[in-house]
Amino acid sequence: MSKIHTKTGPEGDYYRCEANSLNELARADVLMVAKVVSFGTDFISTVQIESRKPSSQLFSKFGKLLAKLHKYKSSQYGFWEDNFIGATPQLNIANGTEMCNWADFFFNKRLLFQYLLAEKNNLTTYSINRGFLKIESNISSTLNGMEEEGASLLHGDLWYGNFICNTEDNAVLIDPAVYYGHRETDLAMCRLFGGFTSDFFISYDLEYPLLPGWREREKIYKLYHLMNHLNLFGRSYLSSVEECIGSIQ
């Protein structure tokens, strides 16, 4: 009989949303995903994953499988419910042009939401305000053409701590913030805090090559997560947000 891992915390919709995200990833049947057993208003139980230290080969396998996951598509951006990125609400229900225009979706549902939250939290500065206006003016041209690739199923919060290497040396996804969007957003998060080897990105690109201009787009995608960390953890992330926003053309 499988052992069960239970995560608990304050009451809310977090655990239902996490369960729905895990089940959506499992539906694609590409990467291994923590298996949901049950959930409630203050807990989620999953089958316990017996872990080991990842080998160098894990990242080559992982990169290729993530590329295959990103080939699992939806007809529109977003998701059928809002969820959470960490403890921050993540708006996924697309309206109007957001359903099929990636720049509109990402600006309105990702960057603008985080910016307004930072403003409410008194965490914006002159350089952030100025940089954000520039992004608003240029984002349509920066993200132009991404609709060609369609809306990929995304983990949504894929930093190094959100997968576990099991005893068979396979990556098992945990703690997702799922939605359908442009695939480079997952890769930007993988690069943001490090830990993923060059083999991971090489094997990804061999399976599903990135379009030209990805390095500039990556800055915008990283900004979403940095602004979220600013809102979650405060001014310790202020310089990182200012540096990122200042680097965006």
Strands 83-85 vs 73-74: parallel, antiparallel or unpaired: unpaired
Report how far residue 235's alpha carbon sits from residue 240's, in angstroms, rounded to the nearest whole number.
10
Q: Tokens standing for 52? A: 């080991």
CA neighbours within 13 Å on the CB side: how many for 181? 29
Is 169 among the catalytic positions?
Answer: no
Residue 147, C-beta contacts closer than 8 angstroms, at least 6 positions apart: 100, 101, 102
The catalytic residue among 157, 169, 186, 205 is 157
Look at phi and psi of residue 156 and say left if phi exceeds 0, alpha if psi is from -120 to 50, else beta: left
Residues taking part in catalysis? 157
